[in-house]
Amino acid sequence: MRAVIQRVSEASVTIEGEKVATIQKGLLVLVGIEDASNQEDINWLTSKIANLRIFGDENGVMNLSIKDIDGDMIVVSQFTLHAATKKGNRPSYIKASKPDVAIPLYESFVQQMEIELGKKVQTGQFGADMKVALVNDGPVTIIIDTKNKD
What does the radius of gyration of the chain's CA atoms come to, in whole angstroms?
15
101, 112 contact by CB (below 8 A) = no
Active-site hit among 6, 46, 55, 79: 79
63, 53 contact by CB (below 8 A) = yes
Give yes or no: 78 in active site: yes
Active-site hit among 6, 46, 78, 122: 78
124, 74 contact by CB (below 8 A) = yes
Give yes or no: 14 in active site: no
Q: What type of residue is 88? A: G
Cα–Cα distance measured from residue 96 to residue 148, given in angstroms and rounded to the nearest whole number: 17
Give yes or no: 123 in active site: no
The residues assigned a catalytic role are 78-80
